[in-house]
Chain A
Amino acid sequence: MNKNCLLCGVGGQGVVLASRLIAFAAMEKGYFVRTTETIGMAQRGGSVVSHVRIGDEVYSPQIPEGTADVILAFEPGEAVRCLPYLKKGGMVIADRKIVKPVTASLGGDAYRAEDMISWLEKKTGKLLVVDGDELCRKAGSPKVLNVVLLGAASQTGVLGITPDEMLDAVRKNVKEKYIELNERALMLGREAGGM
């Protein structure tokens, strides 16, 4: 198996942890894994891109443009920003809710989720938009967006990691007291992914 999974979002959304969970699950299956992040100088609120590359014939830690099997976007504008990475026929899974940058508040720029989603619809053959806000509310915490999205992604099969394998990775990596919450989040994500 050779898989390139690109995760993107905004600092503080749990993008990096999600990439670690995918990497963990892939390593459990015996695959060689490379990951890296491109994070700006911002501690919080900046664009975060996490690259997960699974398979042996892989040298660069960053996914070369045009070769990502899937873009898992925690924010629709960040999905648009990362589209050049997507390979022909690749899939985009994106959360619906936008995160406004401070500059938008200052300048009053119009930045709207609908524009991003419709652009993604226009540009990708396979698009799954997830209502992460609603699913997080159902799960019981705004902090499980990452696991919701992993649930959706594993359900579509695009990661090469099954929902059960993802569940196992979640169980082995989150603190005991948060396991139940994350299991709920994963299940809600799976439903969104077409279970």
Chain B
Amino acid sequence: MSEKRILAMGNEAIALGAVRAGVRMAAGYPGTPSTEILETIAKHNDGHFHVEWSVNEKAAMEVGAGAAYAGARTIVTMKQVGLNVASDPLMSLAYMGVKGGMVIVSADDPGPISSQTEQDTRTFGQFSKLPVFDPSSPEEAYVMIGEAFEFSEKYQTPVLFRPTTRVCHSCASIELLPDMEVAEPEGFIKDTMRWVIFPRTSYLNHVKIEKRNAELSETLSDYERNFVLPGSGKKGVVTAGISYAYTREVLPEGVPLLKISTPHPFPERLAKEFMEEMDEVLVLEELDPMIERELLRVAGKYHLPVQICGKLTGHTKNAGENSSESIRKDLEGFLGADVFTAESAGGKTEAADAQSAAPEKADAAADNGEQPALPVRPPVLCAGCPHRASFYAVKKAMKGKKAVFCGDIGCYTLGNAKPLDMVDTCLCMGAGVTIAQGLQAVEPDSVNFAFIGDSTFFASGITGVVNAVYNKNDIVLVVLDNSTTAMTGHQPHPGTGKTIMGEVAAKISIRRILEGIGVEQIYEVDPLILPDAVKAVQEAAAGTGVRAVIFKSPCIAVTKPQNTYTVNQDACRKCKVCVRELGCPAIVTEGDTVKIDETLCYGCGVCSYVCPFQAIGEVKENE
């Protein structure tokens, strides 16, 4: 085994590739599936460059732009919906251009697996007129990101780099390469025409960009990662990203394939030459039919007699992620089922057998019967999660009263699950605070709650609170402060007093921000002390204007477990109120008996308040 061979996750590969490319500035905001990129860069920071979790994606983009203006190689990381937040600076930056290479990683999430939308960063590339690189594996991403930096610097434009979840979160053996030769940043050189955006300069830049992109389309037709795997026959496949990997896994020998690694500017000549040889092509891609549309455009432009099949023609599904299995089906439909012989890769034929005919035993059991029902394991709040206590406190306080509970983005969206059922709306980062205001305007007799986590509050909640105070809106803001960005894997944020590099930073107080905005009625309570929490909510609900309850209790993943709790079986009347009210994973039933699984219990103790018979108590260390 080579000494420089490691098993790297796609996100680690992207990070290592950026470090190797001499990155000097790295900024981003956490978001699945992109988060580990910045964390890995921080881990490999020898003090030579600046790495930061910015307060949100817009801030990251602008910090990055400044560094790139000064000539530094810069990476900005986010998930696809984060690109929406950063789109204001990005759209203008596309016109202005950069000096140091600037790569914006926007990780897409087909499925979606942990996102609000199935939007496509490649389409965003077309919209913003920026070049897009689309890797299909961790090992390709590792090399491609270096090429993206060189490309960006050469053409003085930011470029988008678009991995998807299955690239970001899969691991592969990677051969580490030597560092690239990179010049020291020159520093910022004043130049109004270049760095100050005016309508006149934007017009000139627009003309320049359109001309450049036409030239890049030609250049990229020769880029080695846009390529054809030759074959025979008049039916070919065009694919990209992780779908390329699935396609290679199952594609029968001899079917011609075109791989697109730069969907924008589209490598037109390469695609034209490929389609000239074909009667029909099948496009295998996820999210938007982006390549399919480009092929239609190219075929139309050159009057090519070729049938283009894909999402737009109903040959492939137009939502959700692909897999080896789905692509195999698509190929069967396109090429004919008979192309898949028993020995072909993917082995679906065998798979079908495995279920019915696998073991000889199966025959013996003349009746195979029905597969027993499998347990559903929906996402739930962890045992001991302070959010459970917070939601439960509000639920108790508002029992029988008219109230709407606006949620936001984070673990606490899971407060939606039964039995809590405490999230009535969820739209995008920070939206709960402002949606509550809109609801209030239409339905003033309802108490409108807005739940927001600490990291989300800093990212995009503050302006909503300013809006509420300024416009005399009437809401109860509930800040769920668990001292971390939990859902994406516990990143620090401005309220934690720590940076991504582990340095001590100013701890920005949410309470003082609210005071500064002019929120007068503020309660700060530990939600795990349930009676206090309920009382605070009741008082806040009775008030007017903008009232705030800050529930402060750290995420269980960043604290040590407390003493666990146990059910005193003599006192337990088996009413199961604890099970029904809280939905805590540590409270389990065995027949009629209710028990607390001590390996899951974190000792939050909320169940001890809920039990009507005081049957739940703490297990003392020395007992």
- Check A59 against B359 for contact (C-beta < 8 Å): no
In residues 73-97 of chain A, which contact B (Cβ within 8 Å)? 77, 80-81, 83-84, 86-90
How many Å from the CB of B537 to the closest CB on chain A?
Answer: 25
- Check A80 against B374 for contact (C-beta < 8 Å): yes
- Check B348 against A66 for contact (C-beta < 8 Å): yes
- Check A59 against B354 for contact (C-beta < 8 Å): no
Complex-state Cα separation, A141 to B383, whole angstroms: 21
- Check B250 against A64 for contact (C-beta < 8 Å): yes
> With A41-B114, A66-B350 as given contacts, are A121 and B361 in contact (CB-CB < 8 Å)?
yes
- Check A125 against B348 for contact (C-beta < 8 Å): no
**Stretch touching chain B among A25-33, A148-156, A158-166, A184-192:** A25-33
Q: Using CB atoms, name the residue of chain B closest to A111.
A: B375
- Check A102 against B354 for contact (C-beta < 8 Å): no
Q: Using CB atoms, name the residue of chain B closest to A98.
A: B375
Complex-state Cα separation, A61 to B241, whole angstroms: 12
The residues of A that contact B358 with a CB separation of less than 8 Å are 86, 88-89, 123-125
Complex-state Cα separation, A33 to B591, whole angstroms: 45
The residues of A that contact B522 with a CB separation of less than 8 Å are none
In residues 27-48 of chain A, which contact B (Cβ within 8 Å)? 27-37, 40-47
The residues of A that contact B579 with a CB separation of less than 8 Å are 105-106
> With A123-B355, A123-B359 as given contacts, are A43 and B557 in contact (CB-CB < 8 Å)?
yes
Interface string of A9-37 (1 = CB under 8 A from B): 01000000000100110011111111111
- Check B249 against A64 for contact (C-beta < 8 Å): yes
> With A41-B379, A122-B362 as given contacts, are A102 and B583 in contact (CB-CB < 8 Å)?
yes
The residues of B that contact A90 with a CB separation of less than 8 Å are 354
Interface string of B363-399 (1 = CB under 8 A from A): 0010011011111111110110000000000000000
The residues of B that contact A111 with a CB separation of less than 8 Å are 373, 375
How many Å from the CB of A43 to the closest CB on chain B?
Answer: 6
In residues 102-138 of chain A, which contact B (Cβ within 8 Å)? 102-106, 108-109, 111, 115-116, 119, 121-125
- Check B362 against A123 for contact (C-beta < 8 Å): yes
In residues 42-66 of chain A, which contact B (Cβ within 8 Å)? 42-47, 57-62, 64-66
Is B524 an interface position by the 8 A CB rule? no
- Check B355 against A84 for contact (C-beta < 8 Å): yes
- Check B245 against A60 for contact (C-beta < 8 Å): yes
The residues of B that contact A64 with a CB separation of less than 8 Å are 249-250, 323-325, 328, 345-348, 351
- Check A80 against B350 for contact (C-beta < 8 Å): no
Complex-state Cα separation, A119 to B355, whole angstroms: 12
The residues of B that contact A36 with a CB separation of less than 8 Å are 166, 169-171
Is A100 an interface position by the 8 A CB rule? yes
How many Å from the CB of B111 to the closest CB on chain A?
Answer: 10
The residues of A that contact B245 with a CB separation of less than 8 Å are 59-61
- Check B170 against A87 for contact (C-beta < 8 Å): no
- Check B171 against A66 for contact (C-beta < 8 Å): no
- Check A115 against B372 for contact (C-beta < 8 Å): yes
In residues 229-256 of chain B, which contact A (Cβ within 8 Å)? 242, 244-246, 248-250
- Check B249 against A125 for contact (C-beta < 8 Å): no
Complex-state Cα separation, A80 to B346, whole angstroms: 21
Complex-state Cα separation, A61 to B246, whole angstroms: 9
Is B204 an interface position by the 8 A CB rule? no
In residues 282-338 of chain B, which contact A (Cβ within 8 Å)? 323-325, 328
Is B580 an interface position by the 8 A CB rule? yes
- Check B7 against A122 for contact (C-beta < 8 Å): no
Q: Using CB atoms, name the residue of chain A closest to B378.
A: A103
- Check A101 against B171 for contact (C-beta < 8 Å): no
How many Å from the CB of A39 to the closest CB on chain B?
Answer: 8
Please give the number of chain B residues whose Cβ is less than 8 angstroms from any Cβ of chain A in the complex: 71
Complex-state Cα separation, A88 to B349, whole angstroms: 10
Interface string of B568-592 (1 = CB under 8 A from A): 0000000000011001110111000
Complex-state Cα separation, A31 to B368, whole angstroms: 39
Complex-state Cα separation, A111 to B245, whole angstroms: 38
Q: Among the listed B172, B354, B375, which residue makes an inter-chain contact with A109, where contact means beta carbons less than 8 Å apart?
A: B375
Please give the number of chain A residues whose Cβ is less than 8 angstroms from any Cβ of chain B in the complex: 63
Is A142 an interface position by the 8 A CB rule? yes
Is B343 an interface position by the 8 A CB rule? no
The residues of A that contact B583 with a CB separation of less than 8 Å are 102, 106
- Check B346 against A34 for contact (C-beta < 8 Å): no
Is B5 an interface position by the 8 A CB rule? yes
Complex-state Cα separation, A35 to B361, whole angstroms: 32
- Check B249 against A100 for contact (C-beta < 8 Å): no
Complex-state Cα separation, A106 to B419, whole angstroms: 9
Complex-state Cα separation, A147 to B411, whole angstroms: 30
Complex-state Cα separation, A65 to B171, whole angstroms: 19
- Check A40 against B379 for contact (C-beta < 8 Å): yes
Complex-state Cα separation, A31 to B172, whole angstroms: 11
- Check A67 against B376 for contact (C-beta < 8 Å): no
Complex-state Cα separation, A42 to B382, whole angstroms: 8
Complex-state Cα separation, A81 to B371, whole angstroms: 10
How many Å from the CB of A69 to the closest CB on chain B?
Answer: 11
The residues of A that contact B166 with a CB separation of less than 8 Å are 36, 61-62
> With A10-B377, A32-B173, A123-B358 as given contacts, are A105 and B587 in contact (CB-CB < 8 Å)?
yes
- Check B171 against A33 for contact (C-beta < 8 Å): yes
- Check B350 against A34 for contact (C-beta < 8 Å): no
The residues of A that contact B379 with a CB separation of less than 8 Å are 40-43, 46
* Residue among A58, A86, A122 with the highest chain B CB neighbour number at 10 A: A122
Is B353 an interface position by the 8 A CB rule? yes
The residues of B that contact A29 with a CB separation of less than 8 Å are 1
Is B192 an interface position by the 8 A CB rule? no
- Check B376 against A101 for contact (C-beta < 8 Å): yes
Q: Using CB atoms, name the residue of chain A closest to B579.
A: A105
- Check A59 against B249 for contact (C-beta < 8 Å): yes
Interface string of B205-245 (1 = CB under 8 A from A): 00000000000000000000000000000000000001011
The residues of B that contact A122 with a CB separation of less than 8 Å are 359, 361-362, 365, 368-369
The residues of B that contact A105 with a CB separation of less than 8 Å are 579, 587-589
> With A59-B248, A116-B372 as given contacts, are A45 and B585 in contact (CB-CB < 8 Å)?
yes
Is B352 an interface position by the 8 A CB rule? yes
The residues of B that contact A44 with a CB separation of less than 8 Å are 382-383, 585
Q: Which B residues are within 8 Å of any A CB, using their own CB?
A: 1, 5, 7, 113-114, 137, 166, 169-173, 242, 244-246, 248-250, 323-325, 328, 345-355, 357-362, 365, 368-369, 371-380, 382-383, 411, 414, 418-419, 486-487, 557, 579-580, 583-585, 587-589, 599
Instruction: Return the 10 tightest CB-CB contacts between A and B, nearest first.
Output: A66-B351, A61-B170, A125-B359, A36-B170, A42-B379, A64-B324, A59-B248, A41-B379, A59-B245, A115-B372
Q: Return 16 A-B CB contacts under 8 Å, by A number.
A: A10-B377, A35-B7, A36-B166, A46-B379, A59-B248, A61-B171, A62-B323, A65-B348, A77-B375, A80-B372, A84-B354, A86-B358, A100-B375, A104-B375, A105-B579, A111-B375
Contacts A31-B173, A36-B169, A124-B359 aside, 16 further interface pairs with beta carbons under 8 A come to A27-B5, A32-B173, A34-B172, A35-B7, A41-B414, A43-B486, A44-B585, A45-B382, A46-B379, A60-B324, A62-B170, A64-B346, A67-B347, A67-B351, A101-B377, A109-B375
